[in-house]
Amino acid sequence: MTVKENMIAIEGLTKDFDSFRAVDNVSFNVEKGEVLGFLGPNGAGKSTTMKMLTGYLPISGGTASICGKDVTQYPLEVKSKIGYLPEGAPLYGDMTTIGFLDFIAEVRGLSGSDKQAKVDLSIEKLQLESVMNQPIETLSKGFKRRVGFAQAILHDPDILILDEPTDGLDPNQKYQVRELIKEMARDKAIIISTHILEEVEAVCSRAVIIAAGSIVFDDTPEKLKAKSTNGSLDQVFRELTHH
């Protein structure tokens, strides 16, 4: 390993659903301290790539490894290093916020005062104190998203994979979540998928654009902006992903 450690390494990653190729030969690495913005139109293969990284979907071709461990060979070790916010932040609606976070902590093998401290910390970071004892199904969309976020960062993972983390949040909440991501970026490797282009400028140190399963751009957000003739990210995005 070099000084800059590749915490996420993807090589030729491919996913086939029957005859449809959802992800085609995608390769990239993410180092510690990097926030990678994963962009692309709906259906481009962003979520599918993330699902393979987190071990939810089996890989059809290529390899993916987390902290040097192959995702397919060491599923449990890999999963314990990842904090994952799935698309739409699915949660157990019948549980209370605190009950749900306790459950996640217990499945992750935490107990006693360590569990208590970590649950408290993630509640504090996401400002969930006011809804701690409310059933999740009664919460607003913004709170639900924050509970999903709290669940992902609870065990202080090395890797964060967030599928559209700010979707459905109001501008203030978006700002909070972005600040949180920036704050955590120092000692983690983070992948965020989004189709909000301003978000890439705001938090990401690198942008990867995927269209129809293949990578069409991989560089800094500044370079992406420089490619545009009128300085708008939207226009470059359309050019790159239009086909």
Partner 1 sequence: MHNCLAIIKREVGAYFSTPLAYVFIVIFLALSGALTFFMGAFFERGQADLNSFFSFHPWLYLFLIPAISMRLWAEERKTGTVELLLTLPISTWVIVVGKFLAAWIFIAIALGLTFPLWLTVNYLGDPDNGVIVASYLGSFIMAGSYLAIGSCISATTRNQVIAFILTAVLCFLFLMSGVELVQSFFQGWAPSFMTEALASMSFLTHFNTIVRGVIDLRDIVFFSSIIGVFLYINTAVIHLTRGS
Contact status: 175 vs partner 1 (CB under 8 A): no
Member of 16, 94, 124, 156 binding partner 1 (CB under 8 A): 94
Residue 182, helix vs strand vs coil: helix
Q: Which residues contact 22 (CB under 8 A, 6 or more apart)?
A: 15, 16, 45, 48, 213
**CB-based burial label for 122 (10 Å; 0-12, 13-18, 19+):** buried
CA–CA distances in Å: residue 231 to residues 37, 195, 215, 235: 19, 18, 22, 8
- Classify 67 in phi/psi space as left (phi over 0), alpha (psi -120 to 50) or beta: left
Member of 10, 13, 39, 91 binding partner 1 (CB under 8 A): 91
DSSP code for 5: -
Contact status: 61 vs partner 1 (CB under 8 A): no
Q: How many helices (H) and strands (E) does the chain have?
A: 9, 10
107-126: which residues touch partner 1 (CB under 8 A)? 107-109, 111
Member of 95, 180, 196, 212 binding partner 1 (CB under 8 A): 95
Q: In angstroms, what is the minimal distance from the CB of 18 to partner 1?
A: 11
Contact status: 76 vs partner 1 (CB under 8 A): yes
Contact status: 213 vs partner 1 (CB under 8 A): no
CB-wise, 108 or 182, nearer to partner 1? 108
Q: In angstroms, what is the minimal distance from the CB of 221 to partner 1?
A: 28
- Stretch of 78-86, 200-208, 221-229, 234-242 contacting partner 1, by CB under 8 A: 78-86
Q: With b meaning 16 or more CB within 10 Å and e meaning fewer, what string describes 7-31?
A: bbbbeebbbeeeeebbbbebebbbb
Hey, what are 161's tokens?
């994979």
CB-wise, 110 or 215, nearer to partner 1? 110
Contact status: 142 vs partner 1 (CB under 8 A): no
Site of interaction with partner 1 (CB under 8 A): 51, 54-58, 76-77, 79-80, 82, 84, 86, 88, 90-95, 99, 103-104, 106-109, 111, 135, 151
